[in-house]
Amino acid sequence: MATKNRLQRLTESTGDRDRSGLIDFCDRSGLVPISEVELRKSVRTGGEVGSVRMVPLAGAPSLEATINDGRGTITAVFFGRGRIAGITPGRRVIVEGVAAKRGNQILLFNPTYQLLP
């Protein structure tokens, strides 16, 4: 059995290893998988920040961080913030808030967040 696991690790791509590592992290942390997030309900989920962008809105910017847990993506939107120290690509975070939808994107508006090492 151990030989099979080693062989599997040697033959899988880096992306697959990263994905399975994110899934393991989220499962161990007791987070709701992004693919199972229910709209208009409070949720605690997280993963790795994939991208961060500042979106200028009428009068005040907003920061959008796309988070991936290996099973799906969610976008955390922080109104009135042009930058948040620590919210950078590659950083793992836990976010909590009420889920909404815009097109085919799942969103959390002004979620509470916890930066992880």
Each residue's pLDDT expressed in tens, for the chain with a length of 117 residues: 566 555 555 554 455 567 788 899 889 999 999 999 999 999 999 999 999 999 987 778 999 999 999 999 999 999 999 899 999 999 999 999 999 999 999 999 999 999 998
Distances (CA, A) of 109 to 13, 69, 72, 80, 99: 34, 18, 18, 11, 8
First to last CA, the chain: 32
> Which domains can be identified in the chain, with CATH numbers?
2-115 (2.40.50.140)
Question: Which residues does 50 contact at the CB level (< 8 Å), separation at least 6?
Answer: 66, 67, 68, 73, 89
What is the predicted pLDDT for the residue at 63? 96
What is the predicted pLDDT for the residue at 60? 86
What is the predicted pLDDT for the residue at 20? 84
**What tokens were used for 44?**
């605690």
What is the predicted pLDDT for the residue at 19? 77
Q: Model-level pTM?
A: 0.82
